[in-house]
Structure 1
Amino acid sequence: MQPKANELRFMTKNDGCVHVHPSSVNYTVRHYDSPYLVYHEKVKTSRIFIRDCSMVSVYPLVLFGGDLYQPTIVCVSQVAELVKELRWELDQLLEDKIRNPSMDLCTCPRGSRIIRMIQMKQKTNPESFQ
């Protein structure tokens, strides 16, 4: 049984329990394929609400979400090292692109290699990160 819209809640690092605001297009969503949401705004009225939110899968969080100190993200050490290297390579690639906006990420060797790795990872089992 899916929870009612006003019963569905999420946890934030600083505020604890938050709810999707009734004005959000996601207010009526009862199930998300990922337990993570990104949001633009929090408001506090009768309780803390998030607005302008979108569900996000674990892969973008792992690749673009900053330092990973969350103890709930657990994976095999070899996978963790590969992800760490991929993040570093991706950061370097993005810095190169910022310095050289005309660079074609799909045709440069580093870019095409990283894109292939990300595409390959998308096809694998997302349960490798829990």
Structure 2
Amino acid sequence: MYPKVMLRNDTLKAYVTGPKQETVYIHPSSVNFAKGGASAAATGPDVSPWFVFNSLVKSSRMYVWESCRVSQFPLVLFGGELSVKHHAKLVTVDKWIQFKCHAKTAVVLKMMREELDKILQKRIDEPEKGTTEREERWLEMMVSILEGEDDSLRYEDKAVHQRHKKENNVFLA
């Protein structure tokens, strides 16, 4: 099971999670808590609005204690079910997290995800066997992308989250 995902929704000045966009709050004792709510947290075109968390605790509100900001590529590579809608230029994770990107890029991302899933499954099924040269090349490429990511996948709802277009960007703005 991978961590749950929440989005900082600047329009609502709140955090939302899941397909129903349920409002959740960062607990005041969390290191990610900012006085004034979501609007006081670090924002801007170069700051990811995505967070992963492990558990929700209900008291007067639904609270998240342990959370970590995450960019789009780990969500695509390690998140839940991945689907691609080529005509709409969308990559969707877990049926609610949507990013706009070129169809060719979406195909590459899906292929990378499938390869990663195969490599990880092989490591679980046969832990005594090492990785092949081909698997090493795939893993090196993925690490390179994660280390040098330019945060260029775009959240689909521009009213919620906007980014500035970058030159030589393979993704849509």
TM-score (norm 1): 0.78
Residues 24-61 of structure 1 deviation map (CA, whole Å, 9 limit, x = unaligned): 22224821632111112212223221111111211111
1-structure distance, mates of 2:97, 2:68: 23
Which of the numbers 68, 85, 93 marks the counterpart of 1:54? 68
Residues 7-28 of structure 1 deviation map (CA, whole Å, 9 limit, x = unaligned): 9631112462111001222224
2-structure distance, mates of 1:71, 1:22: 26
User: What pairs with 1:57-68 in structure 2 (closer than 5 Å)?
Assistant: 57-67=71-81, 68=93
CA RMSD of aligned residues (A): 2.3
2-structure distance, mates of 1:84, 1:26: 31
Amino acid of the structure 2 residue aligned with 1:10:
Y
Distance change (3 Å), C-alpha of 1:92 and 1:49: same
Q: Give 1 or 2: higher helix fraction.
A: 1
Structure 1: segments with no counterpart, 5+ residues: 1-6
TM-score (norm 2): 0.61
- SS of residue paired to 1:25: coil
The aligned counterpart of 2:150 is 125
1-structure distance, mates of 2:26, 2:60: 13
Q: What is the percent sequence identity of the aligned residues?
A: 31
Amino acid of the structure 2 residue aligned with 1:44:
K
The aligned counterpart of 2:29 is 23
Aligned residues between the structures: 121
Structure 2: segments with no counterpart, 5+ residues: 1-11, 35-39, 82-92, 155-173
* Larger relative contact order (CA 8 Å, sep ≥ 6): 2
Paired residues of 2:27 and 2:63 also in contact (CA < 8 A): yes
Distance change (3 Å), C-alpha of 1:53 and 1:71: closer
User: What pairs with 1:1-130 in structure 2 (closer than 5 Å)?
Assistant: 9-13=14-18, 14=20, 16-28=22-34, 30-31=41-42, 33-67=47-81, 68=93, 69-70=95-96, 72-105=98-131, 108-122=132-146, 123-127=148-152, 129-130=153-154
